[in-house]
Amino acid sequence: MLEPGSVVHDRYRIVGAIGQGGQVAVYEAEDVRLQGRRCAIKEIRFDPEADEETRRQAEEQFRREADILARLDHPTLPKVSDYFSRGDHDYLVMDFVPGLNLKEVMDEARRGGRLLPESQVLAWGAQICDALYYLHTQDPPILHRDIKPANIKLTPDGRIKLVDFGLVKLMAHDEARTITVIQGRGTAAYAPLEQYGGDTGHTDVRSDIYSLGATLYHLLTNQQPPDAKQRFLRPDSLSPPRVLNPAISPRAEKAILSAIAMHPGERPASILEFRDALMQDTLEAQNVQATLARRDARANAVRRALRAHRAAVLGILIMIALALLVTLTAEPVRVEPNATMPAPTPVSTVTSIAP
């Protein structure tokens, strides 16, 4: 572990550890070149006993993926700004995100004897969907593969940040190759069955949809879903969300259960399809609100135009009033009831008779 106060890469002063586990540790640090900038440094430890060729390939993979992550620019993703290696450790530097992660938020609610409200959880879910849509539409597409409450930060101003890229995978167009920083399967409760094969398993955007569905299940019920292997062996081990929390809407329950279907073919085909299913009522309400807002905007525009051209409008109204007055007071044309039309003048006809 890096000691608080130590400086790495001649630039980053370690403040303290944020978390650690397995081959990864994350630290909060200060950038000594840019005063006041805080950053998070992810330390990735590889097996020091690996042969030279394995180590070379791992370092090449790390650098290529760090280059990809550094090009990402989305408000729901922390910006990756630097990477470097030191001994048997590789380091990824990104924006420090203040606030609690959603697991901590959920645990705090549980200690208070309450569940998180659906409207709040779905609002967070919509932001995560936006982030995943951005990742999935990169060239090549990027899979996160480790979505879970502990990897999602809630900032003090209420925004969501998807903070961990430890198992990110780049999908080649021909599906023949991938680039992965760390070999791993994700966290069991949130990983689909196809991800248990590591990089030998076929994962695609539907794998992230499964992880997000499992995350929302946990946030809404305060109970982890059983992992995919357990569900495969015992299909009845998964309790429907509304059994655990009757306040969940049928629509949200249906969307979440479709997202965590065991077979990828039974899940939504894209993150947008899942978002629309999850947020259907909200989207319809937003459409109604947008329609009303446009109507109000048009009415306000008319009112502003009337105020701006008050003299001209008043003049037009006066002219219309005068025209009506003239029409109403004009002498009507009288027609005598016994008047007859003059008789037509007779026309003489001359007939010519041949001698």
Report, as residue numbers or ranges, the catalytic residues.
Answer: 146
Q: Are 123 and 67 within 8 A, CB to CB?
A: no
Reading the block at residue 308, the tokens are 């701006």
How far is it, in rounded angstroms, from Cα 248 to Cα 245?
6
Q: Are 28 and 20 within 8 A, CB to CB?
A: no
Contacts of 195 (CB under 8 A, 6+ apart): 145, 185, 186, 201, 203, 207
Q: Which of these, 172, 168, 242, lies nearest to 208 by C-alpha position?
A: 168
Looking at residue 103, its amino acid is K
Contacts of 73 (CB under 8 A, 6+ apart): 79
Q: Are 116 and 106 within 8 A, CB to CB?
A: yes
Q: Which of these, 159, 136, 137, 132, lies nearest to 147 by C-alpha position?
A: 132
